[in-house]
Chain A
Amino acid sequence: MGEVIVVTSGKGGVGKTTTSANIGCGLAIAGKNVVLIDADIGLRNLDVVMGLENRIVYDLVDVVEGKCRLKQALIKDKRYPTMFLLAAAQTKDKSAVSPEQMMKLCETLREEYDYIIIDCPAGIEQGFKNAIAGADRAVVVATPEVSSVRDADRIVGLLEASEIKNIRLILNRLRPDMIRRGEMMTIEDVTDILAIDVLGLVPDDESIVVSTNKGEPAVADNNSRAGQAFRNITQRIMGNEVPFMDLEETGGLMNWLKKIFRIGNGK
């Protein structure tokens, strides 16, 4: 029996889709059978981040409406043969799917796949309710900003109220230099407020922008620090203990020189 994991945040733009794509690819690289579901109907992005936009024929709404078979709508990623994407419809809205339909879909998928990752839309309305309906556990993505943490807190409350017990936090876009200067919330500041276990710490990394635009998740890039963070997260999702990476590594003159050297080498 597979596990259904919803990736959510409340606030928009904190990295839900990027996280979903990276966790999905990470699990596929580790040999797991994975389905990624984009639950953001009307504002789909996961297909773009995955670089699979041109392959969409049927989508989530077609499946729940019975216009196609489930297998027809699952887009196989050629780079990772054990990973499939179920894209969102772009011309419909959130009300096109009901929580009951999502639950049924998750039940069907979990019989055949190890992990079902659901990319939740921002907000706490119908789209959110659909996305969490069939989930066993939740990954809450937040950035170390007050507004993001506030929204994450709201989301955790709603998840708890929906009887989702396993809720873990990914703290995204950390800037160790800013934390050191006292300009950014520390990891403790955030965990004191949210009081949930940390699944992963992802440093702010320019390479994410590049990989997202290219449609190649950073988790597959061995030179990307954010990619390393997502590889660790993938291991933790599979139940393996991995120490948290040293975020400080990005700072300091030596590292700065190393970075330049690495970029120079790449060219």
Chain B
Amino acid sequence: MQKNNSVIFKGGKDGIIIILAEDANFNDISESLREKIRSSSKFFADASTTISFKGKKLAEKEVLSLIEIINEETNLSISFIEDLTGDTDAEKEKKQDERKPLGSFASIPTDGAYFHRSGLRNGQAISHNGSVVILGDINAGAEVVAAGNVVVFGAVRGLIHAGASGDNNAFVCALSMQPIQLRIADKITYFPKDMLKENKNKIDPVYAFVKGEEIYISPITN
């Protein structure tokens, strides 16, 4: 049957390759994917792996909905997602070099923001598959990992990773920015000690964003 051949699995050297038939429509692909996963559960052990798509070119939304299916049907923890569909070999190679860690996320930003109604203390962590709003301080030793933006109504002293699934457009905004380190997508910046001392206990709302290859910090009033 045409439908059953619209998705083929292959074990690659670093993960699972899912080959999508060029001529199948997207509904057939997602149905077939669900069916195949169910019938071959052994293939999908509880492991951390990379998923690559090959063959039919997919829109970003379509990739996400396939990932959703894999998440629903397996215990697989997906560490990387690669979209190799419709690429030339040169492009594929380039993509492989730049592939981005997904953090603890198995899919990409949803619209729902997570509101946390207190601060975070040392050792406490939030990871959310979207934006995060925190009403309180994030103390040193606390961690916020978000696929989207992070807005803090308080001081940031701990670690924040915004755009953790690779979104360079993500930003971090806080009433007082004094983190030891700040991450947006795959960029990392650290704050020099003397700068932290200046910021100490001052309310000085800023936001951090990525421009080019660097993280910039700017007053929120601009």
- Contact indicator A156/B201 (Cβ below 8 Å): no
A195/B119 contact (C-beta < 8 A), A150-B140, A153-B140, A153-B141 known = yes
A151/B119 contact (C-beta < 8 A), A188-B201, A193-B157 known = no
For A193, the chain B residues whose CB sits under 8 A away are 137, 139-140, 157
A150/B122 contact (C-beta < 8 A), A193-B157, A195-B137 known = yes
Q: How many cross-chain pairs have Cβ atoms below 8 Å apart between A and B?
A: 32
Interface of A is mostly: helix
Closest to B124 in A: A157
- Contact indicator B141/A192 (Cβ below 8 Å): no
Contact mask A147-174 → B, CB, 8 Å, 1/0? Answer: 0001101101110100000000000000
For B119, the chain A residues whose CB sits under 8 A away are 195
Looking at the assembled complex, report how far the CB atom of B211 sits from the nearest CB atom of chain A, in whole angstroms: 31
Interface of B is mostly: loop
A153/B122 contact (C-beta < 8 A), A193-B157, A195-B137 known = yes
Among A153, A156, A160, A195, chain B packs the most CB atoms within 10 A around the CB of A153
A residues 19-78 touching B (CB-CB < 8 Å): none
A residues 119-167 touching B (CB-CB < 8 Å): 150-151, 153-154, 156-158, 160
For B140, the chain A residues whose CB sits under 8 A away are 150, 153, 193
- Contact indicator A154/B141 (Cβ below 8 Å): yes
- Contact indicator A154/B157 (Cβ below 8 Å): no
- Contact indicator A157/B122 (Cβ below 8 Å): yes
- Contact indicator B123/A154 (Cβ below 8 Å): yes
For A153, the chain B residues whose CB sits under 8 A away are 121-122, 139-141
**B: contact size bracket:** 10 to 19
Number of interface residues of A (CB under 8 A): 13
- Contact indicator B201/A151 (Cβ below 8 Å): no
Looking at the assembled complex, report how far the CB atom of A262 sits from the nearest CB atom of chain B, in whole angstroms: 38
Bound form: Cα–Cα A151–B139 in Å: 11
Closest to A154 in B: B122
B residues 139-164 touching A (CB-CB < 8 Å): 139-141, 155, 157
B residues 107-157 touching A (CB-CB < 8 Å): 119-124, 137, 139-141, 155, 157
Looking at the assembled complex, report how far the CB atom of A10 sits from the nearest CB atom of chain B, in whole angstroms: 9
Interface residues, chain B, with chain A CB atoms under 8 Å away: 119-124, 137, 139-141, 155, 157, 200-201
Q: List 8 tightest A-B contacts by C-beta distance, closest first.
A: A157-B121, A154-B122, A153-B122, A154-B123, A153-B121, A153-B139, A157-B124, A150-B122
**What would 21 A/B residue contacts be, using CB atoms closer than 8 Å?**
A150-B122, A150-B140, A153-B122, A153-B139, A153-B140, A153-B141, A154-B122, A154-B141, A156-B121, A157-B122, A157-B123, A157-B124, A160-B121, A188-B201, A189-B200, A189-B201, A192-B155, A192-B201, A193-B137, A193-B139, A195-B137
Interface residues, chain A, with chain B CB atoms under 8 Å away: 150-151, 153-154, 156-158, 160, 188-189, 192-193, 195
